[in-house]
Amino acid sequence: MRAEVPFFEQYRIHPSSDMTKRNKASFRKVLLMVALQHAVQFCLGMVLLRPTDPNVKRWKEEAWLQYFTSLWFGFVHNKGLAHSLAQITQNIIIPSVQFFTAMVIVDFHQYVLHRMAHHYQFLYKHFHSHHHRLYVPYAFGALYNHPVEGFMLDTVGAALAFEITCMSAKMGMVFFTFSNLKTIGDHCGYIFPWDPLNALFGNNAIYHDIHHQPYGIKKNFAQPFFTFWDRTLGTMYTEEDAAKQRKIKSTKSN
């Protein structure tokens, strides 16, 4: 549970001793529940991923390439350039749009269900409170949920994004891996200055850690990518907000 390399301790959000003092779920239980969720995700993945004939796949790719080439030729009137632009469209632009759209779908799905889990006492008490037994999050705890919540919040959301955007199996694997890495990073308990995800996303380990604290439990519902829904719907709470609140309390006490 403690970092093997002392150098990394300077980037830890909470003292390592807080994990045993404040967390209400044992490390063993967390591992078991996470393993269960991965098993459920694996089974659903086997259902969603349909066998593809390589010849059919190749024929579809060639058909789409011809279609995009004809579209671009109508603009540039140069067959070679149109073919190159068609390849860029097929191999870069469309996959990028699919990937970004999938991120938006997952974020919207998780924000709605996550906020509902805090708004309705029944949902929080019987399902979401399991995840909040970790006041000091760590990497393995990213997917520590009640099985029902884990299925509805994480598994179904990712499956919807995969199906709606018509991702290929290969792209789906990349997207699911990236989503898991992002979620693990948000719960890792460290904020590394060289982490590229911290530069790309404001929704990081510190942002989500606030949600795990008593003062921020009704804020920062957005996960795992953007802060858009929190910002738009008034549930955003930053470290600067927390510092201002502490200053006000300190002034009043004096």
CA-closest candidate to residue 57, choices 171, 164, 158: 171
d(CA 125, CA 23): 17
> What pTM was estimated for this model as a whole?
0.88
Q: What is the pLDDT of residue 3?
A: 52
Q: What is the pLDDT of residue 254?
A: 57
Preceding amide of 224 cis, omega within 30: yes
Q: What is the pLDDT of residue 232?
A: 96
Q: What is the pLDDT of residue 16?
A: 82
Angle at 89 between CA 83 and CA 94, to 5 degrees: 155
- Give residue limits of the domains in the chain: 23-253
The model's pLDDT over 90-117, given as tens digits with 9 standing for 90+, comes to 999 999 999 999 999 999 999 999 999 9
CA end-to-end distance (rounded Å), the chain: 39
Beta bridge partners of 12: 190
- C-beta atoms surrounding 101 within 10 Å: 15
d(CA 14, CA 176): 28
Count how many Cα atoms sit within 13 Å of the Cα of residue 179 in the half-sphere of its side chain. 24
Q: What is the pLDDT of residue 53?
A: 73
Count how many Cα atoms sit within 13 Å of the Cα of residue 78 in the half-sphere of its side chain. 5
Angle at 161 between CA 66 and CA 101, to 5 degrees: 65
Q: What is the pLDDT of residue 186?
A: 93
The model's pLDDT over 116-125, given as tens digits with 9 standing for 90+, comes to 999 999 999 9
d(CA 91, CA 150): 33
| Long-range contacts from 206-213, C-beta under 8 angstroms, 24+ separation | 206/13, 206/239, 207/238, 207/239, 208/137, 209/13, 209/14, 209/137, 210/237, 210/238, 210/239, 210/242, 212/132, 212/134, 212/135, 212/136, 212/137, 213/135
Q: What is the pLDDT of residue 205?
A: 92
- Positions in the chain short of pLDDT 70: 1-4, 249-254
- CB-based contact 215:248 (threshold 8 Å): no
Would you mind telling me the total number of residues written for the chain in this entry?
A: 254
The amino acid sitting at 237 is Y
